[in-house]
Structure 1
């Protein structure tokens, strides 16, 4: 998935802070990244930082909001590029999730799902992160449901596909090498094939 933005001269101070926080939080973790490091990376004064974000928690919320909007836009676009608009009988469009996952996990910057990571990492310090993660996953599942024809099993199949997708993300994140990441994609493909065959 591409970075939310690249450095530009016309970026505001808030945008620079948020972009720097996004890159550092996603790459290195939220707890491991201090405010001073973000200030240094973004090139703003400490007073400027606190003018835009009253606390690190406020910045984490803004990071998760940015990540959600950017990731969902990428996800929908990736599904479209892999054929979501093409007619497909039955549940066949669920199979598009495998090449979408492959596109993401093979990128050098891949560090797993920012929402799963944050829900695990800072659940006690910022319980709101769990609620944000749940909302993100609910919207992702809604997008997956749109790949399916209407029917009694639509919600169940979408939930199952979303669960398999998330599991494959975690497996790919834990992978020791590219072969193991490809194995995660192949496993997702097998699970999706079983769901497609479900009547």
Structure 2
């Protein structure tokens, strides 16, 4: 009986942790969309393929400390890498994502789980390197991945075949199938978040 209870508690903890991560991802994307609305741009729609790729990239940062202790940043000199195995887990090929955008960001250790998504979204919307893409109307949908309430990855997708994060072989109704991913510069976010936090 005790063993069953331990297994039940562990499973329940995983369910709660997954739900909290999903809520954080939703809050992050909601905050990005509020920023777009303030610019009279349409909200990003949800894109399952982009979310899958974003989650794969985020998972690759698991255990990696955020290099900035005062604000949001990515690890200096470390660009996210798309591997064939990441794409295959999402049933995608490089041709499906080549025109998309992947932007990783992180929040400092000690940031509460409740405020981490908002801080991460603020760093994206305050970063000139990221807003070039977030403000670009060619990106119409997005997916978010996160790990440890510290790393967030925003994947932006187009309606065009080169960046829609849809595998045409799996979605015969799709007229698009391609990939070209731009990665955000790494070191620019620290300044914006530091300036925001420190005033």
Same fold (TM over 0.5): no
With the length of structure 1 as denominator, give the TM-score of the two structures.
Answer: 0.29
Considering fraction of residues, name the structure with more strand.
2
Considering fraction of residues, name the structure with more helix.
1
Choose 1 or 2 for highest CA Rg: 1
